[in-house]
Chain A
Amino acid sequence: QQPVQSPQAVILREGEDAVINCSSSKALYSVHWYRQKHGEAPVFLMILLKGGEQKGHDKISASFNEKKQQSSLYLTASQLSYSGTYFCGTANAGNNRKLIWGLGTSLAVNP
């Protein structure tokens, strides 16, 4: 079951914040977040495992709400380099051998 990402697209001015959500209809085992720039390979941001942990990396952090089967990616004080498409990949509790990817959220940061 493909996770649902929202919003589909976001436009920010440099320095603004954004939240991207990733929701699943099935119990989650892990959630991965990646950023992909046009025509390039996805780049790993972070992994969250069930247990409701929150992780941070510079000004990008994420949370995992096990009850809601949802993960949120928080981008604070956005920089131009944050532009790209953000994908979440989820592994379900019943099938934790492969990831299923969302359709992505396009983020554009303007000066």
Chain B
Amino acid sequence: DAKTTQPPSMDCAEGRAANLPCNHSTISGNEYVYWYRQIHSQGPQYIIHGLKNNETNEMASLIITEDRKSSTLILPHATLRDTAVYYCIVRVAPGNQGGKLIFGQGTELSVKP
């Protein structure tokens, strides 16, 4: 699975958009970009995933560059409860039994009042 690079930490003001970047320059054509987050002392929570098109759900938006070498997770209106470590992971497509979720160091997002 391709390696990802994320900034170790970011701050965001409550109510503002949080934009979390991720570099995955060695991503393969059959690898998806997944985002999970982990609130302190809890299990990881799925946020969103995509292949090459931008994706949006009730939690966030995922913007993937045209060359697929980087992506940005956007939390449109961050709240204090969004304070967590955010992990960007690339893995083979759903449906392929070989794909394992390997976690990097992630970005620790602090949402401040």
A binds B: no
Please report A residues at the B interface, Cβ cutoff 8 Å: none
Please report B residues at the A interface, Cβ cutoff 8 Å: none
